[in-house]
Amino acid sequence: MKLSFEKKCEIGFQYVLDLLEPCSCYGAEHIRTLAPYTSAERDKLMCELDNIQRVISVYDQQKSIITKLEYAFMHLKDVRPIINKCRNTSLNEVELFEIKRFLLTFRDIYPAFCELKAAAGTEGLEARELAEALEIVDPDKTGVPSFYISETCSDKLREIRKEKKNIELLIRSKKGNMDELMIARTKIAAREEEEELAVKARMSEQIRVYLDDMLFDVETIRSLDVILAKAKLAINRGCCKPVIAENDFVLEDMVNPKIGDNLIEKGKSFTPVSISVQRGATVITGANMGGKSVALKTTALNILLALCGIFPFAKKAEVVLLDDIYIISEDLESIDRGLSSFGGEILEFNNVVRKLDRCSMVVLDEFARGTNPDEGAAIVKAATKWLQGKESYTILSTHYDGVAEHAGSHYQVIGLKNIDFASLKTELSCIETERSADRIAEHMDYGLYKVLEKQDCPRDALNICRLLDLEPEIVELAEKNIDNLI
């Protein structure tokens, strides 16, 4: 279940990932590679969602502890390569320094983790104390992150350094034969280096006992960091905890944060979208400017978020676990391969239908719009009828007439359905012509309503033509052509 970076950006998924703010390198790595939980990972997903909700419930009371954890997470470096190296060979001084710094930071993390765990009641998150491992690389118990091979580690090293110090005193005082003293210092320095290597080898061997515990704690830090980031996003954006359902997707008052944030910058707001998706095909129709693609992408986004263990941007969400989700829209990459966008769509769609199963979802945005309308309509109708007979889930947006007749569910963008056109016409007559289209868009209702019975195609496009004072004779001819097609 892998989506390209371009597809993630297209539906707004990458935008949400960028809103998450993990504090550790481990959490950031996980967010970059975040993938949906599959049907076989139901328990893991439910545990993740429960833990996020538990953290949310105590977030305000535990704010100081959470801040302490986040601050500690920010100071962590990725020690996993050093840990893996230590399994087979001795560490050098820089690597032992990094291990010591990790263990010192974890010393601060461990009590805060325990306190938050007790308060929130998180499950599946455990940590292993590493005080004994810290004593190996900090034998003098200095508690400072710098690293130095202490004489505490070796009586032999103590004697060598004592002898070296005496020689250096003689050199500084210029007492004795300087050539002999310099040769003696070189030899004693070599003995010191040899003993330091022996000490580092012993340290590496001793620390090797704790490598698995350290990796275990790294995984705990990663998990907790991601949970905290998801919880904070859910709090800041008013997201809801999704319910794992068996058969149908139900999403109420969804928003798309990427589009919504852009609208807020323009002084506008996103119209929430609600939809229910059953097995088979669900069709979203509406005129151009009506927001079909926005509704489709918002639905796909919030389903994907829930399946990734991120609270969706909705008032309510019930989702079914999937093994695959496919998003098919005009494929710009196909042009580079010498194919038209339509050809790219068909190739991609064919690859999907050959491996479609009951635990899959297909999202089709204005499928087959890249060919002539008659053939495009015929292809979309055929695809919808075929998909309706499958146990998988399909959501498609289209401006073609008659497609919804072959689907199990039909939603339509409200558009200008409830607008008083006479009042709007009067309003438009008072502003500059160039601003008329923007004013019409402000009156558009981009919400969805479920079509319960067959009805005529919405005529928002014709109504917009009238509002923008298109030549009346042209509008009349267009209306007659539509009537002849119905």
pLDDT in tens, 180-214: 888 888 898 898 888 889 999 999 999 999 999 99
Residue type, position 127, single letter:
A
Q: Which stretch of 84-98, 296-310, 374-388 has the lowest confidence by average pLDDT?
A: 374-388
DSSP string, 131-194: HHHHHHH-TT----S-----GGG-HHHHHHHHHHHHHHHHHHHT-S-HHHHHHHHHHHHHHHHH
Residue 425: the pLDDT is 73
Can you tell me which residue has the tokens 């003696």?
184
Give the tokens for residue 180.
Answer: 């002999």
Greatest Cα pair distance, the chain, in angstroms, is 116
Residue 150: the pLDDT is 84
Top-confidence residue, 442 or 159: 159
Residue 29: the pLDDT is 96
Residue 460: the pLDDT is 66
* CA-closest candidate to residue 161, choices 196, 126, 128, 137: 196
Question: What's the mean pLDDT in 289-316?
Answer: 92
Q: Name the band, by pLDDT with cuts 50, 70 and 90, for residue 335.
A: very low
Contact 104, 143 (CB under 8 A): yes
Question: What's the mean pLDDT in 40-68?
Answer: 97
What are the backbone dihedrals phi and psi of residue 448, each rounded to the nearest 5 degrees, phi first? -110, 150
**Domain regions of the chain by residue span:** 37-147+207-231, 239-485
Contact 213, 133 (CB under 8 A): yes
* Cβ atoms within 10 Å, residue 68: 18
Indicate whether 237 pLDDT > 70: yes
The Cα–Cα gap between 167 and 193 comes to 16
The Cα–Cα gap between 296 and 363 comes to 8
Residue 337: the pLDDT is 42
Give 337-343's long-range contacts (Cβ < 8 A, gap of 24+).
340/370, 341/370, 342/368, 342/370, 342/371
Top-confidence residue, 452 or 109: 109
The Cα–Cα gap between 322 and 1 comes to 9
The four Cα atoms 322, 252, 244, 348 give a dihedral, to 10 degrees, of: 0
φ/ψ region of 282 (left if φ > 0, alpha if ψ in -120 to 50, else beta) reads beta
Pairing type for strands 316-320 and 324-328 reads: unpaired
DSSP string, 179-209: HHHHHHHHHHHHHHHHHHHHHHHHHHHHHGG
- The pTM is what? 0.87
Contact 410, 443 (CB under 8 A): no
The Cα–Cα gap between 208 and 96 comes to 12
pLDDT in tens, 127-163: 999 999 999 999 988 888 888 888 888 888 888 888 8
The Cα–Cα gap between 139 and 194 comes to 20
The Cα–Cα gap between 404 and 410 comes to 6
What b-and-e string marks burial along 325-345, b requiring 16 or more CB atoms within 10 Å of the CB?
A: bbbbbbbeebeeeeeebbbbb
Which DSSP category does 91 fall into?
-
Top mean-pLDDT range of 84-98, 151-165, 258-272: 84-98
The Cα–Cα gap between 49 and 244 comes to 10
Residue type, position 455, single letter:
Q
Residue 481: the pLDDT is 67
Indicate whether 458 pLDDT > 60: no
Residue type, position 299, single letter:
T
What mean pLDDT is reported for the chain?
87
Top-confidence residue, 134 or 172: 134
CATH of domain 239-485: 3.40.50.300
